Structures are given as structure tokens and as C-alpha cells.
Amino acid sequence: MAYKKNSVFKLCCGDLSCDRDIAGFKHLSEAIILQSLEDFWSPYYRDESIEFFTKEGFNVCSKIAGLDTASQSKIINLLGGNKHANTA
């Protein structure tokens, strides 16, 4: 089944009719990104973190969190750039 880009919100919780719902998704996305950053430095979770940052997860969460392209690039560069892109 194909979905439009922004239909993830409707799929998860119906219409987002109030700012509180949107803010909740934003905070959750920020928390996921921060946890994945922390996991990157752990030998136990590093592979999962690399997968998050090299696949669709980071892209989706960063858009929901409201990160612009420059901020996304800074985070990727903090992790060593794109050198892990071919390892996932």
C-alpha cells in the first residue's frame, strides 16, 4: 500500500488538529535522534545507530524535528561524514 509523504501523521494518530500533537511528534523525533547519537559511541548499539543514520530513519526524524539541511549535515559530520554509508 502506497502512502503520501505526510500521511505518516494520519496513519499514526488520525488528524493532528492541535499543536500539542505536533509538538509531541517533534519531541519524540528529537529524542530518537539524540538516543541514536549516544548509541553510536556504544559497541553494543553502534551497528543499529549506523543503520538509523544511513537509511530512512534519520531523514524522517530530522524532518519531523524540524532540522534544516545544514543541521542534518552537522550531525552526519559529527559521526564521521558518510564513510559509514556503505557499511549498512
Prediction pTM value: 0.70
12 Cβ neighbours under 8 A, 6+ residues apart: 25
* pLDDT confidence of residue 70: 96
Q: 12 or 74, which is more confident?
A: 74
Nearest to 59 by CA among 86, 85, 83, 41: 85
30 Cβ neighbours under 8 A, 6+ residues apart: 61, 65
Asked whether residue 87 carries a pLDDT value surpassing 50, the answer given is: no
Q: pLDDT tens digits for 4-59?
A: 445 444 544 455 556 667 788 999 999 999 999 999 999 999 999 999 999 999 99
* pLDDT confidence of residue 18: 60
